[in-house]
Structure 1
């Protein structure tokens, strides 16, 4: 689940979401170091990031409405697109593939694996340069899911 938003006071906004939204555990925040982003710039970036995340269709977007697209000048738009490129690259470097589209079935290449186990597991995946991709529709054995949840929550990330 992902929420994409903007705020004038980020501390106040994060505190508000902490009290009202229970689906999140981590936040990525971009701020202006010298107040060179005005409200129209920020609304433009919010709209574009929301659109890019929707297009990538990797996570559920929890925004209750689509952010409005502010009208900005062509030079400002070019500057905001550069800011957007840098921001989305940073999000990716941090390990969040929010803006990267899921690979389509027809794009599959490399060595594919299929596992069908007696305990109910039925998995298909592929080795890629990013690691191992587990394909949609994969079913994990129930006792493995419980073990994975325990490991995840005891690692401090869950």
Structure 2
């Protein structure tokens, strides 16, 4: 069973849209984030004068489903942020709307540490595929002792834990049921049923499982070849999955999922299979029983309530 974690959040100016700090118990890291409109206040914070990693995040005008992200490092983050705030024709970056920087409370992060962290984080973000990186290809940095590399691997895991809590989900790993998983994920899979969705007239069958709060359509699942509902916003997601070779030509008039893919809920998953808007809570059914996802979820809630009352 995965152990719980305590994260301490502090609203610096008392407003939810202002500067925010975050810390994890027993972790030396310190996170500071805020909107670009608060940059003049952010750069005055003592954290900005330290060595650290920073993320610039903004919307992608060509893809509303994933953000644009730049990952950088500096031994004086405030100086780099001031440079990035310039107009593009003067060497700055226009795309970003939010900034997040990670430093160390004990100030033991060195320039070598953050260069190594930058390399790891760029690789992780590219592998996860939840954003479009402005950086391009990561430059591998290995000039660290083995013990320091182990410390930085732990540091990265803490960053990947805290950032989604702050609304930055681009480093959050997607668990893939068809691949070897950690023990905690195996445990969740052992109790999670497989859901099946069928469109018989088109010979389409898809399978999925719910893992860590996400609805994962399994590799090999079939989907309609083209999107048919031109008024629905999910058509953008369908096109994206085709462009990124997640949905590939199956050679029989349909498409198939070339890899496991996680969705936030059953309905977008069902829509990608059907090629149109769909109600995933009704269309996905427990394999072997025919129970809808909605009925299954209601049953799980009832069981949990009864166990508490007993």
TM-score by length of 2: 0.37
Q: Please point out which of 89, 92, 111 is paired with 1:39.
A: 111
Query: Which one has the bigger strand percentage?
Result: 2
Pair 1:48 & 2:120 matched: yes
5+ residue gaps, structure 2, are: 1-67, 87-91, 177-205, 218-226, 238-261, 278-310
Higher relative contact order (CA 8 A, sep 6+): 1
Aligned residues: 134
Q: What residue ranges of structure 1 are gaps of 5+ in the alignment?
A: 141-158
Greater fraction helix: 1
Q: Once superposed, what is the RMSD of the aligned Cα atoms?
A: 3.6
1:110-129, Cα deviation, whole Å (9 max, x unpaired): 689xx965x6226389xx99
**Max Rg structure:** 2
Separation (CA, whole Å) in 2 of partners of 1:40 and 1:27: 22
Measured in 1, the distance between the counterparts of 2:125 and 2:141 equals 15
Q: What are the superposed Cα offsets for residues 32-71 of structure 1, whole Å, 9 maximum, x if unpaired?
A: 2232111111111110000000001111100155234132
Match of 2:234 among 120, 123, 132: 123
Cα separation, 2, equivalents of 1:129 and 1:30 = 28
The correspondence of residues 6-155 of structure 1 with structure 2, limited to 5 A, is 6-19=73-86, 20-101=92-173, 108-109=208-209, 120-121=231-232, 123=234, 134=268
**Structure 1 residues 22 and 84: alpha-carbon distance in aligned structure 2, compared to 1, 3 A threshold:** same
Task: Give the Cα–Cα distance (whole angstroms) in 1 for the partners of residues 153 and 267 of structure 2.
Answer: 30
Q: TM-score, normalised by structure 1?
A: 0.67
